[in-house]
Amino acid sequence: MSKGFPENFFWGGAVAANQFEGAWNEDGKGPSTADMESEGSNENPRKISRVIEEGVYYPSHEASDFYHHYKEDIRLCAEMGMKMFRMSIAWTRIFPTGEEESPNEKGLQFYDQVFDELRKYQIEPLVTISHYEMPFYLTEKYNGWTDRHVIELFLKYCRVIFERYKDKVTYWLTFNEINAGAIPTGGYFSLGILNEGTADLGNQNDIPQLRFQGLHHQFLASARAVKLGHEINPDFKFGCMIASMVFYPYTCAPDDMIRCQQEWQQNNFYCSDVLVRGEYPHYAKRIWEKLGITLNISAEDKEILKEGKVDFYTCSYYMSHISTCREGLDIASGNLIGRPKNPYLKASEWGWQIDPSGLRYFLNEVYGRYQIPIIISENGFGAKDVVEEDGSIHDPYRIEYVRQHILAMQDAIDDGVDLIGYMPWGCIDVVSNGSGQMTKRYGFVHVNRDDFGNGDFTRRKKDSFYWYKKVIASNGRDLS
Ligand code: BGP
């Protein structure tokens, strides 16, 4: 008999500034790396501009216009009964280029208002400090995180927001899906690296030496932020955020097993081992040797990593993947990576394979390794929705996806995993990070906006809105 969800479980939802806020150049905000990404689709990768181009559509510029709708949006989250709301602060709203001496007061005021509004409904904010964006100025001047100096600029930003919001925010995440930096696709959007020859997100000129050094700088920045935050407010709790990549071996051939183990190590654990345990794992050397890279890691760096371990673990989960040495198989697309199709799974319209059991499997692997509380900071189903003439939106596919994943969470809790929260992604429709489309919708609330900037931002409740409300009210018991 299932033990049910724990009391005080954080039922919530997740968004991010670069995909949700809009108002990209209002009230002193500077351009971020995300503001330079054009629209796109599965077939046409998003282009990266070096200057804003006439005639190109940049979805982040207006996104879902949370900047002007935050009261309505938070009221809708409260109506669903949410206990926690995951959002991010746009670094460029606080420091437009990253190098200013003092912060932009108007940007700080915006988040004051958002946090106050959340408090009004007793919704706990979960704040990502950097979600797939940084000042574009720092990309141009330093090639993003490849330069160690960016750590100081990030810490300056952290100090400002920790001091300003020390009585309004308790739960922080340092970098969104930090392990995106461990794969070539993440070079630009996760690390702000824009090498000569890169024109779009799908096919970046990847220099692993720069990427892994940049990732090392993010590890240091994260550890120092944790330490600083704990000094400013000892009640602060810091989490890492990992894009979970569950790999199953395609066959039981020993070479597939070894490949599968190595994919788990490089894609999932390389980053979380450093952030949770405070040191590089034993297999890191093998990864660097294989890539032919040598990192600059000082003795002092190693001390810093030890001093800034996170308090809890969070991850996104959308699908599982196949790992194999076999060649010539059909490839399924997916979050950040594509791997051979799994014949046992169905997929979304975007080719993302649906596998709730993979979530249970992953949670057990992670909890067994680290034994710290876990929050699922993203999960959900990207799909096209139809608005009926009477304004209703029937999305049984989304309800079914979320229901199956909640059941898998329940199983993981019964297995003994200390799961403390669930933040379905894009709980109010957001722009897709991967494809740049608005019509790849995840929300329980629909935002009237298409892929090219048409639409008046009207919010509409989907069937899933009422369903999720019931789930929360019953603490996960009523999933009908
Ligand atoms: C994660 C990102 C999110 C979000 C989500 C869905 O990788 O953290 O920002 O976008 O995936 O992906 P997509 O937007 O490509 O559908």
Q: How far apart are CA 322 and CA 197, in angstroms?
A: 31
Catalytic, out of 39, 117, 263, 378: 378
- In angstroms, the CA 468 to CA 82 distance is 9
- Determine which helix (DSSP H) or strand (DSSP E) holds 285, and give its type and residue range: helix 284-291
Ligand 1 centroid to Cα of residue 436, in Å, is: 10
Q: Which atom of ligand 1 is nearest to the CA of 18?
A: 9
Instruction: Check if 176 has its Cβ closer than 6 Å to any atom of ligand 1.
Output: yes
Half-sphere exposure of 29 (CA within 13 A, CB side): 30
Closest C-alpha residue for ligand 1 atom 7: 335
Q: Which helix (H) or strand (E) holds 368?
A: helix 356-370
- Report yes or no: 227 and 306 within 8 Å, Cβ to Cβ: no
Provide the pLDDT for residue 1: 53
What percent of the chain shows pLDDT beyond 90? 98
Q: Which of 194, 198, 223, 221 lies closest to 210 in space, CA to CA?
A: 194
Tens of pLDDT, residues 46-87: 999 999 999 999 999 999 999 999 999 999 999 999 999 999
6-27 average pLDDT score = 98
Residue 317, pLDDT above cutoff 70: yes
Whether 425 lines ligand 1, by a CB cut-off of 6 Å, is: yes
Query: How many CA atoms lie within 13 Å of 250's alpha carbon, on the beta-carbon side?
Result: 20
pTM, full prediction? 0.98
Centre of ligand 1 to C-alpha 298, Å, is 34
Alpha carbon of 335 to ligand 1 centroid (Å): 7
CB of 360 closer than 6 A to ligand 1?
Answer: no
- R_g of the chain computed on alpha carbons: 21
CA 183 to ligand 1 centroid distance, Å: 15
Q: Catalytic: 378?
A: yes
434 lines ligand 1 (CB under 6 A): yes
Where b means 16+ CB within 10 Å and e means fewer, 51-62 reads eeeeeeebbbbb
Q: pLDDT tens-digit profile of 120-145? A: 999 999 999 999 999 999 999 999 99
382 lines ligand 1 (CB under 6 A): yes
Mean pLDDT of 292-301: 98
Atom of ligand 1 nearest to the CA of 180: 7
Q: Among this protein's residues, is 177 annotated catalytic? A: yes
- Residue-wise pLDDT for 434-470, tens only, equals 999 999 999 999 999 999 999 999 999 999 999 999 9
Does the C-beta of 226 come closer than 6 Å to ligand 1?
no
pLDDT for res 2: 65
Mean pLDDT of 294-305: 98
Question: How close is the Cα of 435 to the center of ligand 1, in Å?
Answer: 9
What pLDDT, on the 0 to 100 scale, is given for residue 4?
76
The tens digit of pLDDT for each residue in 196-217 reads: 999 999 999 999 999 999 999 9
> What ligand 1 atom has the least distance to the C-alpha of 435?
15
Res. 42 pLDDT band, cuts 50 70 90: confident
How high is the mean pLDDT of the chain?
97
Question: Residue 292 pLDDT > 60, yes or no?
Answer: yes
Atom of ligand 1 nearest to the CA of 440: 16
Cα angle: 35, vertex 440, 72; to 5 degrees: 75
**How much is the pLDDT for 152?**
98
